[in-house]
Amino acid sequence: MPTEVILPKVDMDMATGQISRWFATEGQQVKKGDVLFEIETDKAAMEIDAPASGVLRDVTGKEGVDIPVGAPVAWIYADGEAYGAKQDTAPISPLVGEMSTKSTEGGAVPPTSHSVTPPSALPGISPSGGEIGQSPSGARATPLARRLAREAGLALASVTGTGPYGRVVKADIDAAIAKGGAKEAPALAPEAPAAAAASAPAVKAMSDDQVLKLFEEGSYELVPHDNMRKTIARRLVEAKTTIPHFYLTLDCELDALLALRTQINAAAPIKKTDKGEAPAYKLSVNDMVIKAMAMALKAVPDANASWTESAMVKHKHADVGVAVSIPGGLITPIIRHADEKSLSTISNEMKDLASRARSRKLKPEEYQGGTTAVSNLGMFGIKDFAAVINPPHATILAVGAGEERAVVRNGEIKIATVMSVTLSTDHRAVDGALGAELLVAFKRLIENPMGLLV
């Protein structure tokens, strides 16, 4: 049997991907491990290796077209294997096997194979959505084996696969039929109308037609959503409809922090670069906010948590995601163990992550996970705002602009540089008093910044 080449899942949020470039053509000889094609997810570009050696046939995955994860995009025929009719292009189960992927950034990632397994926390994708045709049993099988099993009424889950990665092939089905294999269970009866009504969304969004009818025809143009915009929209709706947000706001005085930042930057050693001499680091206020947020989480460990239905996830490290605006959307690269890193390390790491985020060269492990996040709109002069929690985080800190304000000290009005911050909190994981304790710890560090150097 030819080896099926499928679109792999390389990002936890990935439901579809686009092939941006094929490196082999129809009928070309390829070797296992050769770069076969490049895919673009909503956040990164990845090179995909050939899973087998042979001749590339029936390339069905077109460049620039949305393709569901797990869908076959081509087949590889082993040397000497007879080439028959075009393969059945019915979609298959999502990949649960080995697929070698490499970042396209200068080969920064070693071209070694590794397991790519959809995280269990991912929401299920409904076959009725037309994105992924998945066997109810979850078994992996070739399209031919799947069809033969269906025609024979055979339960795929009862068949032991002998193909690549345990995939069920035709010979397995024939053997199971000969042995009188287990039959598929009858389809479940439709759910009661009341149950269906209970699971339906309370409010349905306006349809496209309903929206467009509100505007005069010819007064607008339609720009199709790319994958990033679709993912952002889906995750924001998910966050706002499934996470009970509440918000806490505090004002932090920045004068001591700004003075310390000036001293630290002035003391930066000079190093030689390709562009001449430059300071070894240049701290921003945001770098110090990241460090303060990480240290606050370590000081209030109960707030360094994530919610799951079965248990509270208590994190041992403070990994701070930082919202970075990129063309067409945003992404949240993560500073791992931010509480343990120096300010200069955080600053240089953040500059590197932000630069590669804007060119979509981040690896998935650089933006997936994290225990909290920071979103800073101060550079736009935004005074204060409330950010939407990015699951699996239980908190996100929205940072406004530092500005001179009148403050009262000991009964006298003084001028101070003040920054408003708002903590959005998942009430399932962090209660009001706990969230307040976290924010007070953050304020204490910002207003007494020498603590960031300890």
Q: Does 10 have pLDDT greater than 90?
A: no
DSSP one-letter code for 339: G
Average pLDDT on 46-70 reads 86
Q: Is the pLDDT of residue 298 over 70?
A: yes
Single-letter code of the amino acid located at 205: A
Q: Tell me the one-letter amino acid at 83.
A: Y
| Best CA proximity match to 398, nearest among 247, 292, 294 | 247
AA letter at 254: L
Lowest mean pLDDT among 36-50, 157-171, 314-328: 157-171
User: Where is average pLDDT lowest: 68-72, 113-117, 162-166?
Assistant: 113-117
CA 12 to chain centroid: 5
pLDDT higher at 275 or 378 = 378
Can you tell me the distance from the alpha carbon of 115 to that of 110, in angstroms, rounded to the nearest whole number? 14
Rounded to a whole number of angstroms, the CA Rg of the chain reads: 27
Dihedral (Cα; 194, 197, 199, 200), 10-degree rounding:
170
Q: Which residues of 183-208 are buried (b: 16+ CB within 10 A; e: fewer)?
A: ebeeeeeeeeeeeeeeeeeeeeeeee
pLDDT at 17: 81
Give the residue extent of every domain in the chain. 3-77, 244-452
Read out DSSP for 77-108? EPTTPPP-SPPP----PPP-EE--EEESSTT-
Encode 320-347: b = buried (16+ Cβ within 10 Å), e = exposed.
bbbbbeeeebebbbbbbebbebebbebb
Catalytic residue IDs: 427
Q: Tokens 């910044």 label which residue?
A: 449
pLDDT(442) > 80: yes
Residue 450 DSSP label: G
Rounded-to-integer distance, Cα 374 and Cα 204, Å: 31
Phi, psi dihedral angles at 94 (to 5 degrees): -60, 155
State both tokens at 27: 């009928």
Mean pLDDT of 52-74: 87
Kind plus residue range of the DSSP H or E element containing 195: helix 193-199
- d(CA 422, CA 20) in angstroms, rounded, equals 40
Residues in contact with 440: Cβ distance below 8 Å, sequence separation at least 6, in sequence order: 250
Q: Rounded distance, CA 287 to CA 342, Å? A: 10
CATH 3.90.1170.20 fits 244-452, yes or no: no
Assigned CATH for 3-77: 2.40.50.100
Query: Residue 375: exposed, middle, or buried by beta-carbon count in 10 A (0-12, 13-18, 19+)?
Result: buried
Closest of 340, 292, 341, 321 to residue 442, by C-alpha: 292
**Residue given tokens 């590669």 in the structure block:** 356
Residue type, 426: D
Q: What is the pLDDT of residues 175-213, one digit of tens each?
A: 888 777 666 555 444 444 444 444 555 567 889 999 999
Does residue 91 have a cis peptide bond before it, meaning omega lies within 30 degrees of 0?
no
Is pTM beyond 0.85 here? no
Give the amino acid at 274: D
Instruction: Give the model's pLDDT for residue 66.
Output: 81
pLDDT: is 205 or 13 the higher one? 205
Helix (H) or strand (E) holding 127: none
Q: Is 259 helix (H, G, I), strand (E, B) or coil?
A: helix
Please report the pLDDT score of residue 314 as a whole number. 97
Is pLDDT of 379 > 50? yes
Mean pLDDT over 402-416 rounds to 95
Using alpha carbons, select from 379, 326, 320 the residue that is nearest to residue 356: 326
Predicted confidence (pLDDT) at residue 124 exceeds the cutoff of 70: no
